[in-house]
Structure 1
């Protein structure tokens, strides 16, 4: 097995090697990824005073399993669906749809998801998805970048102090748990595949 083959992300095990079948499979995986993102956005867990969605976990798992290119394509497709007015985001349609919703308080986090997918996908493309600590570190960096982008956008809307208090602090523990979970699951799948 070549080094290039051993550093490809999980999804490459299921992809046809070339041609139209490969493109069709990638397209179907991207669609499935957007469905998972939508479902995760609507799934909430109460942790303290706020509802926490499972979306960060879904972004991390998709990026680690799909790699950078397909992971990015999936997140961009998801953002495009939301831009077109499909109710794919956490607060849609209750709090608006399309561009109007995206320019609201969650806009920075949504763009941050795309950057998060790029960072984690980049790490997976280099084989970090086989090592829990390497993957955890990459996911933690991605999490910090995503939260910083969300904080910065929210700070423009409501000020830095409120943005920190309501847009970052309540989510720290939950997001660290999701990072640890995602960083454990993907290497565990690789370990199972090696044994079979």
Structure 2
């Protein structure tokens, strides 16, 4: 791995942490709506599968080590065992999937595909891990956990649109990424 790769991985881990400074909205089931999932989408879309997922793994390692980097100043290993733990574990896989899909187009898919890829990885993959985890931790049926998670879809859709726009513009401006 080159110095450039290490710097970009650290930069996107920091970007994901910085997105946690945007105030969260916590739903009654205890799962917060945050801007940090957009960091996942951007890391995968801009850095590609390997570097994007490593950026999110670095971010999560820092959270696990106790740094209060999650929205609302949360951190520590305990957050991985709460209601949002499955979503957090889905973050690096989602970033990898987005990056892998973007890489099929040399990092610059048409906007419609960029948006679809952000939704597939940043919403689909993350929910695939997060919803069953939420159901287990909260003692809900899978259907109820999924229905409760639907409240996040409008915000996730907005984050996916922004990530697709930003990623395409960054890749156009800095093609060497």
Residues 1:102 and 2:80 are matched in the alignment: yes
Shift of residue 29, structure 1, vs aligned partner: 1.6
- Cα–Cα, structure 1 residues 73 and 189, in superposed 2: closer, same or farther, change >3 Å? closer
Residues 1:164 and 2:171 are matched in the alignment: no
Deviations 1:99-152, CA, capped at 9 Å, x for gaps: 212111111010111111011110122225331112122222111121121111
Does structure 2 retain, via aligned residues, the 8 Å contact 1:44–1:51? no
Distance (whole Å) between structure 2 residues aligned to residue 190 and residue 26 of structure 1: 15
The structure having more radius of gyration, on CA atoms, is 1
Shift of residue 165, structure 1, vs aligned partner: 4.5
Q: Which runs of 5+ in 1 are unaligned?
A: 1-21
Residues 1:54 and 2:30 are matched in the alignment: no
CA RMSD of aligned residues (A): 2.6
Distance (whole Å) between structure 2 residues aligned to residue 76 and residue 130 of structure 1: 25
Shift of residue 44, structure 1, vs aligned partner: 2.8
Distance (whole Å) between structure 2 residues aligned to residue 72 and residue 141 of structure 1: 15
Distance (whole Å) between structure 2 residues aligned to residue 47 and residue 98 of structure 1: 19
The equivalent residue for 1:9 is none
Does structure 1 retain, via aligned residues, the 8 Å contact 2:43–2:56? no
Shift of residue 72, structure 1, vs aligned partner: 1.2
Residues 1:146 and 2:126 are matched in the alignment: yes
Does structure 2 retain, via aligned residues, the 8 Å contact 1:47–1:174? no
Does structure 2 retain, via aligned residues, the 8 Å contact 1:130–1:190? no
**TM-score, with length taken from structure 1:** 0.75
Q: What secondary structure is seen at the aligned counterpart in 1 of 2:48?
A: helix
Distance (whole Å) between structure 1 residues aligned to residue 73 and residue 63 of structure 2: 9
1:121 to 99, 109, 113: 99
Q: What secondary structure is seen at the aligned counterpart in 1 of 2:49?
A: helix
Q: Which runs of 5+ in 2 are unaligned?
A: none
Stretch of structure 1 that moved more, 123-132 or 172-181: 123-132
Residue pairs, 1:50-89, within 5 angstroms: 52-89=33-70
| Number of residues of Structure 1 aligned to a counterpart in Structure 2 | 169
